[in-house]
Amino acid sequence: MRQACVIAGLSRTAYSRPPRASVDADAPIIAALTALIAQEGRWGFWKCFDRLRALGHSWNHKRVYRVYCALKLNHVRRTKKRAPPRT
């Protein structure tokens, strides 16, 4: 790395690695999350994550949450408003 930067005339602090393509690495997470949400659509992130762990997947919660948000599953679900009891 050091020699490559010297040859290119670039300081080592100015060099940054390109981001790795995570779509291929995230494919199993995407498949597992979509299957789980299709089965249990009202579950939130932590319940889905706990179920994935129970199924034997050892993915990091931050990685799973990043994919969860990328699939736009983190929207707030509106609940029904209950009418106040009559007096």
Q: How far is the C-alpha of 72 from the C-alpha of 66, rounded, in Å? A: 10
pLDDT tens-digit map of 8-61: 888 888 887 777 766 788 999 999 999 999 998 889 999 999 999 999 999 999
Instruction: Tell whether the model's pLDDT for residue 70 goes beyond 80.
Output: yes
On the 0-12 / 13-18 / 19+ scale of CB atoms within 10 A, 70 is middle
Q: Which residues of 31-53 are buried (b: 16+ CB within 10 A; e: fewer)?
A: ebbeebeeeeeeeeeeebbeebe
pTM of the model: 0.65
Q: Report domain extents, the chain.
A: 21-75
The tokens for 33 are 């999350």
On the 0-12 / 13-18 / 19+ scale of CB atoms within 10 A, 58 is exposed
pLDDT of 28 reads 94
More confident residue, 75 or 82: 82
pLDDT band at 80 (very low <50, low <70, confident <90, very high): confident
Compute the chain's Rg from CA coordinates: 22
